[in-house]
Every structure is written in structure tokens, then in C-alpha cells.
Amino acid sequence: MKKLFALLLLVALIALPACGGSKTEETTTTQPTAYDTLTGLDKEFFDVFQCRIPQFNDPASVRVTKILYIDTADYGDYFYVTVNATNGFGGVVPTDYFLSTNFFGTTGDLAKLSTEQTTAITHRMVEKRNAMESFNITAINVAVKEYLEENGLS
């Protein structure tokens, strides 16, 4: 009886790894990137903004503080964004920009657009001042930091 029990125990121990009993499987989980967590207008904004980040004097200092979405029927979508960034004199100054897929500039740069386009943008902006969309500024800034690191700009 003892021999039979010992034989069964030996067979069970030999078969254990084949059944996956003591073998540990390594599973790797991929964490979503900061960009992957952006949704809706946050992602739309970042898709347009990220190619403008290297244009700043010190890209590593770029922090978005406010965003207003401006949809114009005839001239596309714009974002009115406030960015804190280090200027050429070493000071961090909040500056307002207008941003679209075709345009990036300050309020003074709007003169580069047609009068009709400038009027449409500013009129729509005034209409929307009190109805600001909710942007996840923290998530956008995390995505900015991730972009900076991935592109060697931090």
C-alpha cells in the first residue's frame, strides 16, 4: 500500500508542471499612454497642439492653463488657449493663442487672416465665453509632458 501511494504521489508530482499547476505564467499588461487617456475635444486639441510645442522658446516649460473651443461654420474649428511658457528673457508668462490645423498665433496675429475669418472667430468666441466646454487640463498637460519626453524636448 505504501509503495502504491508513493508511486501515485510520484506520478502526480511529475504531471503537475504539465498541467500548469506549479508553472507560473508571465503576463504583461501595457499601461495606456497619457495620450491614450485623452478623449473627445481633449484629444482633438492635443492632436493640433502637439506639433506647435517645439515652436516655443523652451518647450519643456509649456503648460496649458485654459482652453476655449471655437467652432465656426465657414472657417473650421479653433481653440483659444492660454499657455504658460518661458519666454526669451527667462520669465514665465501666460500668453493667449488661437490654434487650428492651419493657424497658430496670438491675438495680434489674427490680422494675418481675412477680415471675414477674423470676424467669424471673434464673434463666435464672444458667443461662447459663458459656455466654456470642460477640458481636462491636467490630462492634457500630462500628455504634453509625455510628448516632450518621447521627443527629447524635456
pLDDT at residue 55, as a whole number? 94
| Better-predicted residue by pLDDT, 140 or 154 | 140
pLDDT at residue 124, as a whole number? 83
Task: State the CB neighbour count (10 A cutoff) for residue 48.
Answer: 19
Band of the pLDDT at 25, cuts 50, 70, 90? Answer: low
Alpha-helical segments (H) within 16-154: 34-37, 40-49, 115-128, 137-150
Contact criterion met (CB below 8 Å) for 75 and 120:
yes
In angstroms, the Cα distances linking 62 to 73, 75, 88, 96 are 30, 27, 13, 13
**What's the mean pLDDT when you consider all of the chain?**
83
Q: What angle do CA 30, 34, 37 make, to 5 degrees?
A: 85
